[in-house]
Structure 1
């Protein structure tokens, strides 16, 4: 006779946290800090706890005072992806923009450019779903970052991954999935003009 059949409820094991659970928690914490609901010391403390959490139950208390009505048990729902469509005129994300755990980029007729060189990303991994379409998608990452492009079907335009060098500790992995389409997808480091512009902006 089992414990359940004898009227004693079975003991439930804690649900292990996935990378998506941890990433969603980190995103909520960063948004709360940007809104002034967490100071920098609190943010660093909670981020460390989120990134090392083993179970969903450990993640819940980190955001329960930041989300009005979170789901029961502390389970988190991943934030909606950032969707960028090149359309006719093209679109880009440059500077210190907020990076979510998932991005969908569709090149359209104008193209899409994602420049991560001035972003602060505390996520271990960012998934970028790319569709080159007619004008292509360009992903620019700093030196020391890594890009995994194995999940991209090159199509007619191809998948050109020009990112080189070893991945530095503490930097995110940019994981590309999708299709190159007619114009293709390119991942690279900043070019000479972009580096000069970056140094000028940083005052060096």
Structure 2
């Protein structure tokens, strides 16, 4: 049975999420601008049937130039990427093994491969080491940070164990993210080094894609609540005897003699 053969079949949340994922890919590739993306995403979360979902992605190709079905009637579980896929192993030294910021800054973020040991130095400057979307050469990564009148921020995603062993003199290392156990198979990040009149911070943040997914989920829930209130109002037989919704606030004040 094809999607077109059952346009009135009710769509599931998983079906809507598959369409939303196609839209996110199209936005990243420049096939949709932000306004088109938001319009189609709102339509996706409002859709109740396959017939409503199908037109949303009909003009969007899938990866590698193959036309993507709008939705699938097969309720296969979505593949889940695990930590094992992000630990590449081997003798690879990683995308970058060191960074220096002297009266300036550095960043390591996005899709990069963290080495077994990353050395960085900040003097009158700052650096950011973002591991949320990174791959890892090994199960344990050591970040050796030296901050002299400067700072280094290490950002890790949930599920990673963090150990902080640095020494601070008139400066410090952030230990707040220690003690949280890691997910099975997740890498371990050891933050060490020296801070003098400076600091090394550790933050735990959601990956950007997950934050975007949560924003879209909140938007979907908001639309569903709005639709539910609308249906409840219609079912209750509520009417507006004063036509307050049909008159402007200025007209209403005039009629009350306030102007």
Provide the TM-score with structure 1 as the length reference. 0.54
Matches within 5 A, 1:55-204: 79=93, 82-121=97-136, 123-150=138-165, 152-163=166-177, 165-190=180-205, 199-200=211-212
1:196 is displaced (CA, Å) by: 6.1
RMSD, aligned CA: 3.2
Give distance in 2, aligned partners of 1:183 and 1:198.
32
1:203 is displaced (CA, Å) by: 9.3
Change (3 A) 1:183 1:144: same
Give distance in 2, aligned partners of 1:136 and 1:187.
11
Instruction: Work out the number of aligned pairs and report it.
Output: 130
Give distance in 1, aligned partners of 2:201 and 2:156.
11
Compare the two structures and name the one with the higher helix fraction. 2
* Rg comparison, structure with higher value: 2
Give distance in 2, aligned partners of 1:135 and 1:112.
9
Given that residues 138 and 187 in structure 1 are in contact (C-alpha distance below 8 angstroms), is that contact kept between their aligned partners in structure 2?
A: yes
Change (3 A) 1:109 1:83: same
Change (3 A) 1:99 1:195: closer
Query: Which structure ranks higher in relative contact order (CA pairs < 8 Å, sequence separation ≥ 6)?
Result: 1
Give distance in 1, aligned partners of 2:214 and 2:100.
29
Residue ranges of structure 1 left out of the alignment (5+ in a row): 1-43, 51-62, 64-75
Give distance in 1, aligned partners of 2:108 and 2:214.
18
Residue ranges of structure 2 left out of the alignment (5+ in a row): 1-83, 217-259
1:162 is displaced (CA, Å) by: 2.3
